[in-house]
Amino acid sequence: MVQQRLRIPTALSDQGLQDNVGRQRSAFSRILRLSRRHPSTIVGASVLFLLVAIAILAPVIAPFDPTDPDPSVRLTPPSSTHWFGTDELGRDVFSAVIWGARISLRVGLISMGIGATLGTLIGLLAGFYGRWLDTILMRLIDIMLAFPGILLAITFVAMLGPGLNNVMIAVGIANIPRFTRLVRSSVLSVKTLTYVEAAEAVGVPNSRIMVRHILPNVLSPIIVLATLGIASAILSAAGLSFLGLGAQPPTPEWGAMLSKARGFLRVAWWWATFPGLAIMITVLAMNLLGDGLRDALDPRLRTQ
């Protein structure tokens, strides 16, 4: 009797576990299969993996302290000691680019995290409750969308004041609308499905319906948008730093480095070349991965 009682839950959870593994495996194999068809996804993921490793291991890999000036080697071209050359104070550009990976990836992740979390929350509330709440929230989003491109982020930086942290908040807020619109439209289509109605009918609280029944169904497009969102957040943040509104020297941020290097283009091409290449490679890798994930996870969003 005791044994039986014990066995039932074990069997159940085993079954559940296997289902879960099966589901994961099928998603995984789907990604793998599509990756074979789109080698660019693999390239993007690998490059990104390498970038993350570089960012984590920056203190170990970087041969010099990126903020440490050495007047004896000012503006020297790339050499075996200074692979990417040095800047006007004799700081090693290679080390700065490596440390910059840390900053850019962090900025991209945090800004996107702010945008995705708030955007998803607003989209869930608007789509689920509808009526006046939907009207109010979506009008607010419309107002945010009236600020084109990077202008919304600039507006918030103007309010909060220049600085890297404020740039993350500003870029994050500027990212809210696209998540909200995506989540809201997905919620609207999921909300009418039978299992949501069933959950409502048996009296499951709204918050639980949203988190347990609706959110998992809109997760795939959110993941895709988030991956692509990190790419655009990195670009925006670097742009704001380039304008002098973000990271301040001597922080080795790629956009801020380009801003300084701009004045030395004639004498030190290397100084502007490598941070720019770093931004492009990072963003390209994120975009390739995002496109691949979209094909794998959400075929509806696919563009040919």
Partner 1 sequence: MITFLIRRFLAAIPVLLGVSILVFSMLHLTPGDPVQLMLSGGGAGGSGGSQGASAEAVEALRKEMGFDRPIWEQYLTWLGDVLQGDLGRSIWSNQKVTEMIFAQLPSTIQLTLAGLGIAIVLGIVLGIAAAVRPHSWFDTLTMGFASLGVSMPSFWLGLVLIYIFALHFGWVPATGTGGVKRLILPAFTLGLEASAIIARLVRSSMLEIMRQEYITTARAKGLRETAVVTRHALRNAMIPVITIIGLQFGALLSGAVIIETVFARQGIGRLTITAINGKDFPLVQGIILLVATIYVFVNLLTDLLYGFLDPKIRYE
Residue 129 or 147: which CB sits closer to partner 1? 147
Residue 216 or 263: which CB sits closer to partner 1? 263
* Residues shown for the chain: 304
Distance CA 56, CA 201 (A): 49
**The one among 258, 289, 296, 297 contacting partner 1 by CB under 8 A:** 258
Quick check: 303 binds partner 1 (CB under 8 A)?
Answer: yes
Helices (H), the chain: 2-37, 39-56, 58-61, 93-129, 131-145, 151-160, 164-191, 194-201, 206-208, 215-242, 254-261, 269-297
Binding mask 150-189 for partner 1 (x = CB under 8 A): xx--xx-xxxxxx---------------------------
CB 187 within 8 A of CB 129: no
- Residue numbers 264-283 binding partner 1 by CB under 8 A: 265-266, 269, 272-273, 275-276, 279-280, 283
Residue 103 or 199: which CB sits closer to partner 1? 103
Q: How far is the CB of 128 from partner 1 (least distance, A)?
A: 23
Q: What is the 3-state secondary structure of 155-169?
A: HHHHHHCCCHHHHHH
Quick check: 149 binds partner 1 (CB under 8 A)?
Answer: yes
**The one among 14, 68, 142, 197 contacting partner 1 by CB under 8 A:** 142
Q: How far is the CB of 255 from partner 1 (least distance, A)?
A: 7
CB 141 within 8 A of CB 182: no
Distance CA 90, CA 75 (A): 6
Q: How far is the CB of 291 from partner 1 (least distance, A)?
A: 8
Q: Which of 142, 145, 160, 168 is nearest to 240 (CA)?
A: 168
Helices (H), 146-202: 151-160, 164-191, 194-201
Q: How far is the CB of 155 from partner 1 (least distance, A)?
A: 5
CB atoms within 10 A of CB 113: 17
Residue 10 or 303: which CB sits closer to partner 1? 303
Residues forming the site for partner 1 (CB under 8 A): 139-140, 142-143, 146-151, 154-155, 157-162, 231, 235, 238-239, 242-245, 255, 258, 261-262, 265-266, 269, 272-273, 275-276, 279-280, 283-284, 287-288, 303-304
